[in-house]
């Protein structure tokens, strides 16, 4: 029982149900694991040790009384962009370094109601703006497979924590690939639900028409379990869709006979790392062996996705982040002599360079005389990208492709070249623009031993189909239990 931190959610649940371990045992094991490796990983911004143990004790009492929820006693982490009552929520930014929310995000409230033990808040790119976790004001989280490399972003801390055994699962958010990309780089499962499937209430907004919360887990079944808890209509979120939540775990049937998988040619274009292509092509062959048919598909507007995204997302960020002005909450410069200086100095000190860059881009795109040329045009391109997907799903059940065109790169390698960093999201951004569900599943490793993920995308609210395909890939590849050496001291 000295490796409890390495358990999946479902494996831990089985032990809890048999009475072979307690929630306190699991939580202590995870906290001990954090003590052992966190100085090398940097996955957390804030830990909640005492409260986590208290929650674990309550979970054990609830299980003994027969009132256990579906996640009762399972230690998980939360990306530091979701509000947690009584526990600081920084968004990886100095401007919110001391902010303690008075309420829980709906996702967090549902996890608590299900009996989950919340061990802490994970590291992230500042306000979820980044692809490497290097824009965090608290320093970068590192890849457990090679700590000299990035773990991905913006949910990098969540992915790294799961891969390193510093929690059994985590909740991240995905605006342009921020769940799937770090999942791919860290060798874990990352599921981005359909926009509107999971409530955004209490999720500190980056780009409101794109943000979506979802699970990062050790297995596909764990992702199905977590999604079933956090999904569902929320009257507090006007974009939340009112439709039943299916039993996602029941969708994990064996075999893919009758399904047709589309292979988008634009996702295998120039610039794709040969090792990534080889691993993904092998994964596609495995899916064929599971019974799926394949068909070549074209998504002709893919090449415009990055440009459209980096107008729409910064424009929405410019509006959303205007609330951080030093007046109501967050950092306030107390040395300013005038109101204008207070605004300027508070925001200049509180925001990092990447956030400032995107605010400036977004403000420009929305400014008088430029709105039609930039934001409106980008919105039109967004509609064309959505139409590409609709046409594709008329010919196939799901799309399979790489997640990232390259494996994880070294820390600092792209820090001075923002455009190069932005282009690493070229294969995930279209999904967000169209509001589709997507999942990253480990499918292999580079020659240097870095994980590679395969992406599956489906039509709106077809998460069951995604999970079925992902589970069949995971089952046949047999690499789900492989963890970095760091995770096996």
**112 vs 480, which has greater pLDDT?**
112
For the chain, domain boundaries: 4-256, 303-379
Distances in Å between the Cα of 11 and the Cα atoms of 21, 482, 485 are 11, 15, 21
And the tokens for 358? 């995107």
pLDDT (0 to 100) of residue 278: 98
pLDDT confidence tier of residue 2, bands split at 50, 70 and 90: low
pLDDT grade, residue 197 (50/70/90)? Answer: very high
Q: 391 catalytic, yes or no?
A: no
> What is the pLDDT averaged over residues 14-30?
97
Beta bridge partners of 439: 191, 456
Q: Most distant CA pair in the chain: distance in Å?
A: 70
pLDDT digits (tens, 9 = 90+) for 41-100: 999 999 999 999 999 999 999 999 999 999 999 999 999 999 999 999 999 999 999 999
| Active-site residue identified among 22, 135, 136, 154 | 154
- Among the listed residues 79, 192, 218, 465, the single catalytic one is 79
The class (CATH top level) of 4-256 is alpha beta
Of 93, 135, 178, 346, the catalytic one is 178
Q: 455 — phi, psi (to 5°)?
A: -100, 135
Establish whether 178 is a catalytic residue: yes
Verify whether residue 158 is a known catalytic residue.
Answer: no
**pLDDT at 385 (0 to 100):** 98
At 487, the pLDDT band (50, 70, 90 cuts) reads very low
Tell me how far apart the alpha carbons of residues 217 and 158 are, in angstroms, rounded to a whole number: 9
């Amino acid at each position: 029982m000295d490796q409890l931190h390495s358990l999946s959610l479902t494996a831990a649940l089985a032990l809890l149900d048999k009475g072979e371990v307690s929630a306190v045992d699991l939580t202590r094991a995870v906290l001990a694991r954090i003590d052992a490796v966190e100085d090398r990983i940097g996955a957390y911004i804030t830990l909640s040790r005492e409260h986590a143990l208290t929650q674990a004790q309550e979970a054990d009492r609830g299980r003994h009384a027969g009132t256990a929820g579906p996640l009762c006693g399972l230690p998980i982490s939360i990306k530091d962009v979701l509000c947690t009552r009584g526990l600081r929520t920084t968004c990886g930014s100095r401007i919110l370094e001391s902010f303690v929310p008075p309420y829980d995000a709906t996702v967090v409230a549902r996890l608590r109601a299900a009996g989950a033990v919340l061990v802490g808040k994970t590291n992230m790119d500042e306000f979820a703006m980044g692809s490497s976790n290097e824009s965090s004001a608290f320093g970068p989280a590192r890849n457990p497979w090679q700590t000299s490399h990035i773990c991905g972003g913006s949910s990098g801390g969540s992915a790294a924590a799961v891969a390193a055994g510093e929690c059994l699962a985590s909740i991240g958010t995905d605006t342009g690939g921020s769940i799937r990309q770090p999942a791919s780089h860290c060798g874990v499962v990352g599921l981005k639900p359909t926009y509107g499937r999971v409530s955004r209430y209490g999720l500190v907004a980056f780009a409101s028409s794109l943000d979506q919360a979802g699970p990062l887990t050790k297995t596909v079944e764990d992702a199905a379990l977590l999604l079933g808890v956090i999904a569902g209509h929320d009257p507090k979120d006007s974009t939340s869709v009112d439709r039943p939540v299916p039993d996602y775990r029941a969708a994990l049937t064996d075999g893919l006979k009758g399904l047709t998988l589309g292979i988008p040619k634009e996702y295998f274009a120039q610039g794709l790392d040969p090792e990534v292509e080889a691993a993904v092509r092998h994964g596609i062959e495995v899916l064929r062996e599971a019974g799926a048919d394949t068909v070549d598909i074209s998504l002709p507007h893919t090449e415009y996705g990055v440009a459209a995204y980096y107008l729409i997302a910064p424009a929405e960020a410019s509006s959303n982040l205007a609330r951080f002005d030093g007046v109501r909450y967050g950092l306030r410069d107390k040395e300013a002599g005038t109101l204008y200086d207070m605004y300027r100095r508070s925001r200049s000190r509180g925001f990092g360079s990447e956030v400032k860059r995107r605010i400036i881009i977004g403000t420009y795109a929305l400014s008088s005389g430029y709105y039609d040329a930039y934001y409106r045009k980008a919105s039109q391109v967004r509609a064309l990208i959505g139409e590409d997907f609709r046409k594709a799903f008329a010919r196939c059940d799901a799309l399979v492709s790489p997640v990232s065109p390259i494996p994880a790169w070294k820390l600092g390698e792209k820090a001075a070249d923002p455009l190069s960093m932005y282009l690493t999201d070229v294969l995930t951004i279209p999904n967000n623009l169209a509001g589709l569900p997507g999942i990253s599943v480990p499918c292999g490793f580079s020659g240097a031993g870095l994980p590679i993920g395969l992406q599956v995308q489906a039509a709106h609210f077809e998460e069951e189909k995604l999970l079925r395909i992902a589970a069949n890939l995971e089952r046949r590849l047999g690499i789900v239990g492989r963890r970095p050496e760091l995770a096996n001291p």
